[in-house]
Structure 1
Amino acid sequence: MVRTSIQHGRFSLTGNVQVAVQDANPLLLGMPNEVLSMIVDHAGPQAFPALRLTNKHLRAIANKPFAILNFSERKHVQSLHSMEALVEITAHAFFGIFVKKVIVSAFRPEVERARYYAVDCGSYWRPEHDRYCMDHAPRHLVMTPEQFREKLDDVFSNIARISHSVSIGICVKPLGCYGSKSYQLCVDLVEDSLKRQWYYSDREESFTNYSLSKTFQPIQEAAQNSGCEIQGVKIEILGYAVSKISNTDLRSEIRTLMKSLVVSLSKPLNLDLSLNYDSYSSPLVQLRYDHKTATMDLSGLEFGHRYYNYTNYLRKVLSCLLAFRITVLNIQDCWLDGSEYPKILCSPTLERLTLRRVSLKTGHFDRNLWSSLLEEFSHLRGLAHFELQGALYEFDQREMNNEYYFTLSSGQYVAYDWKRTANFRLSLSDTDEPFVIRGEDVPARIKSLAVEVAQMEANKISDIGTHGRVRDRYVKMLGSSGPGDDEAGVENTDQSGVENTDQSGVETTDQSGSLSIIQRAVTLVQGWWRKE
Structure 2
Amino acid sequence: MTDPALLADTNVMTSSSPTRATLSTLPVEMLDRIFRLVDNSDLIHLRCVSRYISTIASRPFAIRNFGNMRHVVTEESMKTLLAISAHETFGAHIKSIILSPVRAISAVLEPLDFSNIEDDGIVVDNSFIKSGRFSDLMQQVLSNFKQHSDSIAIGVKEDCCLRHSRRDQYSVAPKQQIFHGERAFCKAAELGTVFETSETLELLFAEMRAAAININRLEIELARDSCYNVRGKTQRTIKKLLESRNSSIDLKIRWKYHGVLKYKHLQSSLRFSASSLLLDRFDYRADVLLLDDIVQQLTDRSVWELYLRELDNGRLSFLNMYFIQSLRTVTLADINLSSAYFAEDLYSNMFERLSRIPDLRHCKLHRLHYLLQQDTSWSPHMMQTRSGRYPSERETLLLVFPDGKFEFEIQGADISQQLKDLAAYTAAAEKEKVRETEAARQVIDSRVVGAGVPILEQEDPEYSSLALVTS
Interval of TM-score (by shorter of Structure 1 and Structure 2): 0.5 to 0.7
Match of 1:457 in 2: 430
Please tell me whether the aligned partners of residues 307 and 331 of structure 2 are also in contact (alpha carbons under 8 angstroms).
yes
Q: SS of 2:317's equivalent?
A: coil
**Would the alpha carbon gap of residues 431 and 320 (structure 1) be closer, same or farther in structure 2, given more than 3 Å must change?**
same
Greater helix content: 1
Q: Say what the alpha-carbon RMSD is for the aligned residues.
A: 4.2
Distance 2:399 2:448 in 1: 5
Aligned with residue 229 of structure 2, among 236, 241, 249: 249
Is 1:166 aligned to 2:116, yes or no?
Answer: no
Q: 1:271: which partner in 2?
A: 250
Per the alignment, do residues 157 and 340 of structure 1 end up closer, same or farther by CA in structure 2, a change over 3 Å counting? same
Percent of residue pairs bearing the same amino acid type: 21
- How far 1:84 moved relative to its partner? 1.0
Match of 1:297 among 261, 264, 272: 272
2:205 maps to 220
The answer to which of 368-377 and 313-322 deviates more is: 313-322
Deviates more, 1:306-315 or 1:145-154: 306-315
Does 2:220 match 1:236?
yes
CA distance in 1, matches of 2:71, 2:372: 48
**Aligned residue type for 2:363:** F
Change (3 A) 1:35 1:382: closer
With over 3 angstroms needed to count, the CA separation of the structure-2 counterparts of 1:472 and 1:349, relative to structure 1, is same
Residue by residue over 1:156-178, the C-alpha shift from the partner in whole angstroms, topping out at 9 and shown as x without a partner, is 23334564443333222245355
State which of 81, 88, 104 in structure 1 corresponds to 2:83: 88
Larger deviation, residues 96-105 vs 213-222 = 96-105
Q: Which residue of 2 aligns with 1:316?
A: 293
State TM-score, norm by structure 1: 0.61
CA distances 1:363-422 after superposition (whole Å, capped 9, x unpaired): 1213251101111111223323212222122344679xx98864432x23653xx323x4
Cα distance change of structure 1 residues 251 and 368 upon mapping to structure 2, 3 Å threshold: farther
The list of structure 1 runs, each at least 4 consecutive aligned residues, that deviate by more than 6 angstroms after superposition, is 33-40, 183-186, 402-405
Distance 1:63 1:112, change over 3 A: same
For 1:403 and 1:394, the matched residues in 2 are separated by 13
Q: 2: distance between equivalents of 1:398 and 1:73? A: 47
1:351 to 2:332 alignment = no
The answer for the alignment partner of 1:504 in structure 2 is: none
CA distance in 2, matches of 1:170, 1:157: 21
What is aligned with 1:331? 308
Does residue 209 (structure 1) correspond to residue 190 (structure 2)? The answer is no
Gaps spanning 5+ residues in structure 1: where?
1-22, 26-32, 41-50, 114-140, 187-205, 279-283, 490-532
Conservation of the 8 A alpha-carbon contact between 2:262 and 2:272: yes
* Distance apart, 1:98 and its partner CA: 4.2
Distance 1:64 1:486 in 2: 51
8 Å contact kept, 1:106–1:215: yes
SS at the partner of 1:390?
strand
Residue 412 of structure 1 corresponds to: 388
Q: With CA pairs under 8 Å and 6+ residues apart, which has the higher RCO, 1 or 2?
A: 2
Q: CA deviation at 1:323?
A: 3.9
2:465 matches 1:476: no
Cα distance change of structure 1 residues 103 and 413 upon mapping to structure 2, 3 Å threshold? closer
What CA distance in whole angstroms lies between the structure 2 residues aligned with 1:211 and 1:403?
Answer: 42
Shift of 1:97: 4.3
Cα distance in 2 for partners of 1:369, 1:285 equals 24
Shift of 1:478: 1.5
Structure 1 residues 272 and 347: CA distance shift in structure 2, 3 A:
same
Instruction: Give the equivalent residue in structure 2 for 1:179.
Output: 180
Separation (CA, whole Å) in 1 of partners of 2:192 and 2:233: 17
Distance 1:212 1:297, change over 3 A: same
Q: How many residues align structurally? A: 386
Aligned partner of residue 388 in structure 2, secondary structure? strand
Rg bigger for which structure? 1
Q: 1:332 aligns to what SS in structure 2?
A: strand
Aligned partner of residue 203 in structure 2, secondary structure: helix
Measure the CA separation in 2 of the matches of 1:461 and 1:34: 64
- The residue number in structure 2 matching 1:437 is 410
SS of 1:209's partner is: strand
Alpha-carbon distance, 1:361 to partner: 1.1
**Counterpart Cα distance in 2 of 1:208 and 1:333:** 33
Give the C-alpha shift of residue 260 in structure 1.
2.5
Q: Distance in 2 between matches of 1:374 and 1:183?
A: 56
Q: Secondary structure at the match of 2:364?
A: strand
